[in-house]
A and B are shown apart, each in its own frame.
Chain A
Amino acid sequence: MGVEALLESLGENVLTTTVSRLIGWGRGNSVWPAQFGLACCAIEMMHAAGPTWDIGRFGSEAMRASPRQADLMIVAGRVSQKMAPVLRQIYDQMPEPKWVISMGACASTGGVFNNYAIVQGVDKLVPVDVYVPGCPPRPDDLVNGIMILQEKIKARGIAPRL
């Protein structure tokens, strides 16, 4: 008997896929954020992790304090000039694969603070995957951003980031 006949005999108990899709599915469904709440957006991020909007449902239950155990850095809040090297160091300490969500207007573009003290967008320091606009974005906006990131992760599979 051939493999096809064997599989048919097993009925609907076998799922075939590619390794890339399988790993992408696994990575996307267990994205562990690193806490990087800097300012007001951090409050909304805390609420997104709370019971009402619960990102634990999407696999982000463990918000790790150590960047070495995290996949995702949610930059929640404004980045000052003094904080910029610290942010870059935390990003460098995260192991691959890693992603960045820029949460809020200040992290995306500098927000309302167009001056000498605030870095005008965290994408000047780290590569950003998803921008979540708002001041602050509602927790459901952040959850939406995480879901968009999950689609992005699943689509990438095991392809290396170049």
Chain B
Amino acid sequence: MSFRTPKGAVLDQGISAGDEWITVGRERIREVAAALKEQGFQSYVMMTCVDHLAAPVAHAAAERFELVYQLRNLEKHEEVRIRVFVPEADPVAPSLHDLFKPANWDERETWDLFGISFEGHPELTRILMPEDWVGHPLRRDHPVGGEPVDFSDDHERWQTAPRDA
């Protein structure tokens, strides 16, 4: 690894498609992100979320939701991916908006589409769906929606939630 992390913070690590990734517990993500930022990983590339409801991932600390952060070191041209698992029963994670300003909108998007709330976020509101939308659309058990299309065979099938199908 080309960077140092606080002792005991990294639960797992590996290389995937040329990118180094580490798994960190959600209680230590702020510490790890701050440490990486001091070491030069000052460019926040993106944060996304994965819902493993349909296909549980093979990992010791696996939960339903997985947050994936990508940080970039612009001087050494290196990127690191940080994976944080968030359980379904308690979908809360710490906010990184004070460390990385772009995290503000990514966290709003994750709240809007997955329902994970971020502690310390100044204004956690919907950003893509209308404000009065009910539900979190990118969760695997949210129906796809739309209209039945005449003369299509399997439209009815994928309109329902995968847990019932």
Q: Is the interface of B mostly helix, strand, loop or mixed?
A: loop
Stretch at the interface among B76-84, B98-106, B140-148: B140-148
B143 — which chain A residues lie within 8 A by C-beta? 116
Q: Which of B106-138 contact A (CB under 8 A)?
A: 128-130, 133, 137
CA distance A133 to B146 in the complex (A): 19
Decide if A81 touches B147 in the complex (CB within 8 Å): no
Task: Decide if B55 is an interface residue (CB 8 Å cutoff).
Answer: no
CB closest residue in chain A, given B137: A116
- Among B142, B145, B149, chain A packs the most CB atoms within 10 A around the CB of B145
Count of interface residues, chain A, beta-carbon cutoff 8 Å:
9
Decide if A115 touches B146 in the complex (CB within 8 Å): yes
CA distance A110 to B137 in the complex (A): 18
Task: Decide if A148 is an interface residue (CB 8 Å cutoff).
Answer: no
CA distance A99 to B137 in the complex (A): 34
Q: Which of B145, B149, B155 contacts A116 (CB 8 A)?
A: B145
Task: Decide if A22 is an interface residue (CB 8 Å cutoff).
Answer: no
B149 — which chain A residues lie within 8 A by C-beta? 114
CB-defined A-B contacts under 8 Å, sample of 26:
A81-B129, A81-B130, A81-B133, A82-B128, A82-B129, A82-B130, A110-B146, A110-B147, A113-B146, A114-B144, A114-B145, A114-B146, A114-B147, A114-B149, A114-B155, A115-B144, A115-B145, A115-B146, A116-B137, A116-B142, A116-B143, A116-B144, A117-B137, A117-B145, A120-B146, A120-B147
